[in-house]
Amino acid sequence: MEIPYTAQPRRDTGLYNAKVGIWLFLASEVMLFGALFSAYILLRVGAEDGLWPHGWLNIPVGTCNTLVLITSSITTVMAWASCKMNQFGRFKFFHACTLCLALTFVGIKSYEYHDKFTHYEIALNDGKFADGHFIENKLQLVNGAYTGYALLKGHIVADRKELFNLREHPARHEELRIEGTQVKSLENYGPRHHAYLAIYFTLTGLHALHVIGGAIVIGFLWGPGSRLWQTDPERFTNRIEISGLFWHFVDLVWIFLFPVLYLL
């Protein structure tokens, strides 16, 4: 028995099954990201004055990633439009572009994550703070005390609050030698370093998983899944529309994530 309404719309709703399904799914996704945005607002409003970071993320890199995702949205919609116009070759081209742009987005995001995990804040015994990326790290924790040394590309500040507003106090990139005996504690800019980073990694990590999931679906429809075009082009076009709706939602979420996390 054939499943009804996979290509043709129902008479009462005017919609085919998958379209209702994807919109219900997107509705649940709105609430998922909404809950995390709510957590972000609570964390941000509850933060002590001067201890919510500004300028911790690289704005040109984030802008570049935003442009990549927006471009992938237009290639997705052009791929669907190509199917609608019976231009399968153009569909293949635009969907390949979308796939490449999705991988570019994930690549840039990985670079940003790597940058955070290799960025360290070091509390020094004299009450100052060193901050930057290790050039060479020979520090070792022995019996609760650090030995060895580290070469760091960064800067030292007297007040930790200076590290929180990099827009007003831009980071300097000097080469510093830190002796183990100077070090009280050190921690990278991973999720546990600050509530901002915890919510940043949660929101962008979940978003990146959506990008990867969407890219897998797009890759399938571009490759083996595209055989359906030969037997049922209307149903295949609907599938492209459904995957496109998901992809546009992923773009839409990023439209809010970018200013909230990078600019404000």
Partner 1 sequence: MDAHPASSATAPAPPAVDPHFREHLRRYLFVFYALLFGTLITVGASYIPWGNREINIGVALFIAIGKASLVACYFMHLISERKMIYGIMAFTAVFFIGLMFLTIWSFADFPWHTVTH
Residue closer to partner 1 by CB (options 24, 145) is: 24
The site for partner 1 (CB under 8 A) is made up of 2, 4-8, 10-11, 13-15, 19-20, 23-24, 27, 30-31, 34-35, 37-38, 41-43, 45-48, 51, 59, 63, 66-67, 70-71, 73-74, 76-78, 81, 83-86, 194-195, 230-235, 237, 244-245, 248-249, 251-252, 255-256, 258-260, 263-264
Distance of CA 6 to the CA centre of its chain: 33
Q: Which of 237-241's residues contact partners 24+ apart within 8 Å by CB, and which partners?
A: 237/80, 237/83, 237/84, 238/6, 238/7, 238/16, 238/18, 238/19, 239/18, 240/79, 240/80, 240/83, 240/91, 240/95, 241/19, 241/80
User: In 3-state terms, what secondary structure has residue 50?
Assistant: coil
Residue listed under structure tokens 């002590």: 48
Residue closer to partner 1 by CB (options 63, 118) is: 63
Rounded CA separation 79/59 (Å): 30
Residue closer to partner 1 by CB (options 129, 149) is: 129
> What count of other Cβ atoms lies within 10 Å of the Cβ of residue 52?
17
Residue closer to partner 1 by CB (options 74, 106) is: 74
Residue closer to partner 1 by CB (options 143, 231) is: 231
